[in-house]
């Protein structure tokens, strides 16, 4: 008597909402990634490094967008690792229509794509633009702001690996304080990137009052897919900022990519939230709060903070304060277990 009603009644699954799939969930409740029929927007054979968070994040996001758009999707890509590792002549890893123009213009190109499609009567085809943090927060910033301001029908996805990786790990305006990059070496009195710099792109996006802004992480696929799906259900300019660790640039073990992304969320440095028309409407609560040390220690770009016998507590505490400020600002920890 395998009672179907009990099977449905008992909603708890050991891994329920956390793993990619679960054989006990209905297809609809599983992630897109669990599906044997997922579109694999980026297929195998690409030249991303071992454990590349960007390769993973892009496939996650685009496969979800593909499902939401019923396969009617085109993508525009800024120059950067994602573009380079997917499309070196004579091979491309993309299985969806894809266009690369230059480094700083992806949002504008996408605007043109959307307009062109409209004018050609292909109103069912949706447009995604994507780029790295450098392509988004720095060189493409003007075009992105313009696209937002006009509320063009484009979903822009930023894959934030916190530096210009493709050119060999240089600082961008998304590089966190103290991080060592090729242009912020771990030398001198203030090793690594300095405090008090950098942009908060999601909040800047929100300031444009666009219909939808969200942050997401490769460590939380369900959340990421839900956000992409939500975004795809909206018309107008939308922005999703995805946290994608870079083993090469961060000096982390390739197997720890997802773990590090998770720790960034769990320590508060990378808050997960959604905003509509400029207001935060939901936040991803921290499940198991950890000190920033746990996150920083796994990355050689922060190694100078943890020199044997000379831990730079002052700077680590300053980073902890950044995390704490996020936790307070977004209410990432429920009051009762916030001690």
Partner 1 sequence: MTEKSRPFAITLDPGTSLQNHTGSWRSSRPVYVDRLPPCNNACPAGENIQNWLYHAEGGDYAAAWQSLIRDNPMPAVMGRVCYHTCETACNRGQLDEAVSIHAVERFLGDFAIKEGLTPVVDAPPSGKRVLVIGAGPSGLSAAYHLTRLGHAVTIREAGPMAGGMMRFGIPKYRLPRDVLDVEIDRIIGMGITLELNTRVEDIDAAFDAEGFDAVFVAVGAHLARRTEIPAHAAGRILDAVSLLRDVELGATPPQLGRRVIVYGGGNTAMDVARTAKRLGVDEAMIVYRRSRDEMPAQDFEAREAEEEGVLIHWLRTIKQIDESAFTVEKMRIDAEGRPQPTGEFETLEADTLVLALGQDVDAAFLDAVPGVQIAGDGVVEVDSQMMTGRAGLFAGGDMVPSERTVTVAIGHGKKAARNVDAWLRGGQYEKAPKAELASFENLNTWYYDDAPKRVQDQLSMVRRQSGFEEVEKGLTEDNALFEARRCLSCGNCFECDNCYGICPDNAVIKLGPGNRFSIDLDYCKGCGICATECPCGAIKMVPEIA
Partner 2 sequence: MMKQIEGSQGIAEAVALCRPQVVCAYPITPQTHIVEGVGAMVKAGALQHCEFINVESEFAALSVAIGASAVGARAYTATASQGLLFMAEAVYNAAGLGLPIVMTVGNRAIGAPINIWNDHSDSMALKDAGWIQLYAETNQEAADLHIQAFRLAEELSCPVMVCVDGFILTHAFERIEIPTQPQVDAYLPPFAPVQQLDVDNPYSIGAMVGPEAFTEVRYLGHQKQIEALDVIPRIAAEFEAAFGRASGGLVRPYRVEGAETVVVALGSVNGTIKDVIDAVRDAGAAIGSITISSFRPFPLAELHGLLAGAARVVCVEKSLAPGLGGVLASNVRMALRGMAVPVYTVIAGLGGRPITRASLADVFHLAADDKLDDVTFLDLNHAVIAQQLALADRDRHSGPIAENLLKALNPGLVRAKPQDERPKP
Ligand X SMILES: Cc1ncc(C[n+]2csc(CCOP(=O)(O)OP(=O)(O)O)c2C)c(N)n1
Provide the binding-site residues for partner 1, judged by CB under 8 A.
1-4, 6-7, 9-10, 12-24, 30-31, 33-34, 36, 40, 42-48, 50-53, 55-56, 59, 86-87, 89-96, 221, 247, 253-259, 262, 287-288
Cβ–Cβ under 8 Å, residues 91 and 45: yes
Residue 127 Cβ, how far from partner 2 at the closest point, in Å?
A: 8
Measure CA of the first residue to CA of the last residue in the chain; give whole Å.
48
Cα separation, 158 vs 219, in Å, equals 16
Other C-beta atoms lying within 10 Å of the C-beta of residue 195: 14
Minimum CB distance to partner 2, residue 152 (Å) = 8
Query: Count residues contacting partner 2 (CB under 8 A)?
Result: 47
CA pair distance 245, 146, nearest whole angstrom: 28
Closest CA to 140 of 153, 158, 122, 152: 158
41 binds, among ligand X, Mg ion, partner 1, none (CB under 5 to 8 A by kind): none
Comparison of 98 and 295: residue with beta carbon closer to partner 2: 98
Site string for partner 2, 209-248 (x = CB under 8 A): ----------------------------------------
Query: In the structure encoding, which two tokens stand for residue 140, read together?
Result: 């493409």
Taking the C-alpha atoms of residue 86 and residue 251, their distance in angstroms, rounded to an integer, is 22
Q: At what angle do helices 221-232 and 53-68 cross, to 10 degrees?
A: 40
Interacting residues with partner 2 between 119 and 178 (CB under 8 A)? 119-120, 122, 125, 142-143, 145-146, 149-150
3 makes contact, choosing from ligand X, partner 1, partner 2, none, with CB < 5 to 8 Å by partner type, with partner 1
Interface with partner 2 (CB under 8 A), residue from 118, 307, 313, 321: 118
């Amino acid at each position: 008597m395998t009672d179907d009603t009990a099977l449905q009644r008992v909603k708890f699954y050991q891994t329920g909402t956390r793993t990619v799939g679960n054989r006990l969930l209905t297809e609809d409740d599983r992630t897109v990634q669990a599906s044997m029929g997922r579109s694999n927007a980026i297929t195998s054979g690409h030249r991303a490094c071992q454990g590349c968070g960007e390769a993973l994040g892009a496939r996650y996001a685009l496969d979800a967008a593909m499902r939401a758009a019923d396969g009617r999707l085109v993508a525009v890509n800024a120059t950067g690792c994602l573009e380079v590792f997917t499309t070196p002549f004579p091979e491309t890893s993309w299985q969806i229509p894809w266009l690369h123009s230059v480094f700083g213009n992806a949002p504008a190109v996408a605007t043109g794509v959307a307009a062109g499609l409209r004018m050609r009567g292909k109103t069912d085809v949706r447009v995604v633009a994507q780029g790295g943090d450098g392509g988004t927060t720095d060189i493409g910033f003007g075009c992105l702001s313009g696209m937002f301001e006009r509320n063009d029908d484009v979903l822009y996805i930023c894959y934030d690996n916190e530096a210009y990786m493709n050119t060999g790990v240089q600082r961008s305006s998304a590089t966190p304080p103290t991080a060592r990059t090729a242009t912020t070496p771990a030398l001198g009195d203030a090793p690594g990137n300095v405090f008090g710099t950098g942009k908060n792109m999601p909040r800047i996006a929100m300031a444009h009052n666009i219909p939808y802004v969200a942050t997401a992480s490769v460590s939380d696929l369900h959340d990421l897919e839900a956000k992409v799906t939500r975004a795809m259900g909206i018309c107008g300019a939308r922005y999703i900022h995805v946290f994608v660790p870079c083993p090469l640039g961060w000096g982390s073990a390739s197997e720890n990519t997802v773990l590090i992304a998770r720790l960034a969320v769990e320590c508060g440095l990378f808050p997960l939230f959604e905003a509509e028309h400029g207001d935060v409407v939901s936040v991803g609560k921290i499940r198991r709060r950890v000190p920033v040390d746990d996150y920083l220690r796994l990355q050689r770009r922060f190694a100078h903070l943890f020199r044997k016998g000379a831990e730079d507590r002052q700077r680590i505490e300053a980073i902890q304060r950044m995390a704490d400020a996020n936790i307070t600002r977004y209410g990432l920890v429920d009051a009762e277990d916030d001690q």
